[in-house]
Amino acid sequence: MKKVMAVTLASAMALGLAACGGSSAPATTAAPAATEAAATEAAAAETKAEAPAETEAAASSEKPGDVNGDGKVIVGYISKNFTDPFHAPINARAQEYFDQAVKDGIIDEWTGLLDGETDPNKQIDRALDCISKKCDIVIFLPAEAESSDPALVKMTQEGIKVIEVNSKSTSCDDLAVAYVGSDDVEAGNMLAQWVIDNCPDGGKYIHCNGILGNSAQLQRTEGMHALMDQHPEFEMVGDFDTKWDGNLASDAASDSLAKYGDDLVAIICDNDGMSSAAQKTCNDKGRSDIICIGVDGVEVPLQMVKQGTMKATVLQDGVGQINGAISIVEALVKGEEFDPNPVIPFVLVTADNVDQYYSGN
């Protein structure tokens, strides 16, 4: 892996962003992915030991980005999915850039957008597609940390340079040439701090999770607990497996309101597709006082903050993340140094600054 040098990240705030993390469709992990994941640690160690930092083919090629020495620079792109509002502008930016990069001769070919379908098994299949297409560089957005990891392992075993974006698979730090994302522990801290600041007397709260095992879900939960657990005036009375799904979060909010009544003061969600749905449920039941907050900064939550029907959301700059990955692809193609771990900051969006991120009514 090349040593670090700071690169300028082209970061364009997208108005329609939704989760790192978030998807309304749960991932399905079949037995093959589980078996692959069980062998990942050994395979990763073997890959790290055997794969040279630069293959002989790449070293002899006139093109630094031509890893396999076939005379072409081919880039692959494995999405998390095509359906999630958060990932739509990320995918669109990748499509725009790489189509133009081929026209401009920056790269020779690219795979187009390969749909991971929020399914680790599908992502492993897409990794095999990238191998068969003789990709030199692949941008990969893992659906799950452990179950999607065999996709990374298989590609790196073939010498492909993989850049993970938005969330990490288990072997990312050992095998990927770079990771571009945001600090999801920080996001969890921000969620908790907003609740602490806006519920000074404490009370009962619930937590709505993303897909369990996704790195964003794990780290946001870690960040939330790091602060909330220091405040005995708060009690978590529900930890729901809501799978990034607003409908499931709405059900959790409704059930918790019925069970805990006035004692329920807050709902913390791993994405704001869920927090906006939970807030609407609370508002409709006459409980607009309940603090609901989540992560991403997609259109509906931003609109609710603008209209005053929800107090805040935490914006994640997905387009900034893919632009960071694009900068690394450019560096690899040119044989230049790059920062392997650029961090794109989160932003707390409230009534005070929502106009910077949302231009609608």
What's the confidence (pLDDT) of residue 148? 97
What's the confidence (pLDDT) of residue 260? 98
Question: How do residues 46-95 score in pLDDT, each as one tens digit?
Answer: 444 444 444 444 444 578 999 999 999 999 999 999 998 889 999 999 99
Per-residue burial over 246-263, b if 16 or more Cβ lie within 10 Å, else e, is: bebbbbbbeebbeebeee
Confidence band (pLDDT; 50, 70, 90) for 146?
A: very high
Query: Does the structure show a pLDDT above 80 at 179?
Result: yes
Range of weakest confidence among 1-15, 103-117, 186-200, 267-281: 1-15
Query: Does the structure show a pLDDT above 70 at 323?
Result: yes
What's the confidence (pLDDT) of residue 24? 37
Q: Report the CATH architecture of 53-182+318-345.
A: 3-Layer(aba) Sandwich (3.40)
Question: How do residues 193-235 score in pLDDT, each as one tens digit?
Answer: 999 999 999 999 999 999 998 889 999 999 999 999 999 999 9
In terms of CATH, what superfamily is 184-315?
A: Response regulator (3.40.50.2300)
Which residue, chain included where needed, has tokens 């892996």? 1
CA pair distance 193, 205, nearest whole angstrom: 13
Instruction: Write out the two tokens for 225.
Output: 């607990």
**Beta-carbon count within 10 A of 31 CB:** 8
| Residue 143 DSSP class | S
What's the confidence (pLDDT) of residue 13? 35
**Beta-carbon count within 10 A of 176 CB:** 24
Whether 53-182+318-345 shares its CATH topology with 184-315 is answered yes
Query: Does the structure show a pLDDT above 80 at 358?
Result: yes
Question: How do residues 265-303 score in pLDDT, each as one tens digit?
Answer: 999 999 999 999 999 999 999 999 999 999 999 899 999
Query: Are 342 and 331 spatial neighbours (Cβ–Cβ below 8 Å)?
Result: no
Q: Across all residues in the chain, what is the average pLDDT?
A: 87
Domain positions in the chain = 53-182+318-345, 184-315
Work out the average pLDDT over 320-324: 97
Work out the average pLDDT over 22-50: 43
What's the confidence (pLDDT) of residue 170? 95
Confidence band (pLDDT; 50, 70, 90) for 7?
A: very low
pTM: 0.74
CA pair distance 66, 64, nearest whole angstrom: 5
CA pair distance 315, 242, nearest whole angstrom: 20
Length of the chain: 361
What's the confidence (pLDDT) of residue 72? 97
Higher pLDDT pick, 90 / 2: 90
What's the confidence (pLDDT) of residue 62? 78
